[in-house]
Structure 1
Amino acid sequence: MDWLGIGVTVIGVAFLILVIVLIKPLNKLANVLGGLQKTTDNLPAQVDDMMSQTKNALQSGNDTLAQINSQIKELSPIFHTIGDAGRATNHLSTSIADKVMKVKTETAEGSSFITKHDLEGLYGLGTLIYYVVQQQKNGKSHPNV
């Protein structure tokens, strides 16, 4: 029985030394866990605040997009008018180019002189001016303009 008592006493002293050695690290661990608890206690309020700010930002973005959509709807007829004017101008320039080419091909005997002296551009300009003046004299304008 003496040996049993001595063994229990040695084990008890060993545990006492172990506890004394581990007191400081365990206190530090308790402080870290306490700080972590303080941080996580504030987390739900911070997440709620962040979510409300995100909701406000998204709502503001949706309002801005709705305003832009309404402004685009107001400008849509202007874009259609510009497109119609572009198509009419394209048709007019095509018909003028056709007239210039027709006059150019009808004057085949003078074409060697024109190409020899590089007068194609000047000749085309003169034809264009002649066509416009004739249209103004006749009081006609292009039907699609």
Structure 2
Amino acid sequence: MDWIGIGVIIIGLAFLGLVFFLIKPLKNLTELFASLQKTTDELPDQVADITSETTSAISAGRDAINQVNKQMNELSPLFQLIGDMGNTTRGLSSSLIKVNTTMREKLENDSAIKRNNLEWIYGIMTLGYCIFQRNKASN
């Protein structure tokens, strides 16, 4: 039994030495865990603040988008009017071009207009013809 007692005492002394050797690292580890606990205790409040700020930012963005949509709905008739005016202008200009082309083809052989510099009459006649056609179409 003596050998067993001596072995137990040696093992006990080894564990005692190991404890004294590990006291400083375990103390540092304890401080680290305490600091980590302090940091993680503040984490729920920080997450709640971030989510509330994010929610308010998303809400403000949604309100801004709704306001822009309302303004676009109010401006939509104006855009449609501008589009109709553009289509009308395009139709008028295309009819002016057609009339201008046909009259130019008819009058190109007439050298009296070129000779006497009467091209302005040709322009007035084209404009008058288009106005007459528009008045005729609207009645």
**TM-score, normalised by the number of residues in structure 2:** 0.82
Paired residues of 1:135 and 1:141 also in contact (CA < 8 A): yes
Q: Which runs of 5+ in 1 are unaligned?
A: 115-122
Partner of 1:30: 30
Opposite residue 89 of structure 1, the aligned amino acid is: T
Partner of 1:142: 134
The 1-side partners of 2:121 and 2:24 are apart by: 104
The question of 1:128 aligning with 2:119 is answered no
Partner of 1:109: 109
Per-residue CA distance 1:18-50 (angstroms, 9 max, x = gap): 111011111111111111111111111111111
**TM-score, normalised by the number of residues in structure 1:** 0.78
SS of aligned partner of 2:32: helix
Partner of 2:83: 83
Per-residue CA distance 1:100-140 (angstroms, 9 max, x = gap): 110222245369xx9xxxxxxxx6x87434422x359xx73
| Residues matched between the structures, number | 131
The 2-side partners of 1:34 and 1:22 are apart by: 18
Partner of 1:117: none
Q: Which runs of 5+ in 2 are unaligned?
A: none
The 1-side partners of 2:41 and 2:121 are apart by: 88
SS of aligned partner of 1:109: coil
- 4+ runs of 1 displaced by more than 6 Å? none
Partner of 1:45: 45
Partner of 1:119: none
